[in-house]
Amino acid sequence: MFRLLRFVTLFVAILSAVSATAQDSDAEAEALANANNPLADMVAFNIQNYYYSALYGTDETANTAWLRYVQPFGKWLMRASLPIKTVPVGAGQDSVSGIGDFNVFLAYLLHRNNSASAR
């Protein structure tokens, strides 16, 4: 009897997890599509890191981390980016870190294709 009760409990738990996963997969797919769309109507803060394991002609490495913020304002979309770099100064010397140029990009959306209205 105890084994049957454990089996039924496990079976119900698995069915619940599969059902929740199926329902969440559509929302996750839409969120992933919006995250990869630079013109998506969403507020986002991203951190991207680029590591350069070998620079041409040297044994030195470099690194660039980008801080990016995106926010829509009606039909305007603003994206702000700030790089933080670590680069070698010369052969055998220490690396130097610093902040790069702050960049703000504004785009006017002439037409927005809403995925919810396309269904």
Q: Distance (Å, rounded) from C-alpha 81 to C-alpha 69?
A: 7
Cα→Cα distances 15→9, 24, 29, 65, Å: 10, 14, 21, 42
Per-residue model confidence (pLDDT) at position 18: 61
- What pairs with residue 61 in β-bridges? none
pLDDT in tens, the chain (119 residues): 555 556 657 666 776 666 555 556 777 787 777 766 766 777 888 888 988 887 777 778 888 999 999 888 888 889 999 999 988 887 666 888 899 999 999 988 786 555 544 44
Sorted by where each begins, the domain ranges of the chain are 1-36, 38-119
Phi then psi for residue 107, to 5 deg, are -130, 135
Q: Distance (Å, rounded) from C-alpha 71 to C-alpha 20?
A: 30
Model pTM greater than 0.85?
no
Asked whether the beta carbons of 62 and 89 are under 8 A apart, the reply is no
Q: Distance (Å, rounded) from C-alpha 42 to C-alpha 18?
A: 29
Per-residue model confidence (pLDDT) at position 54: 76
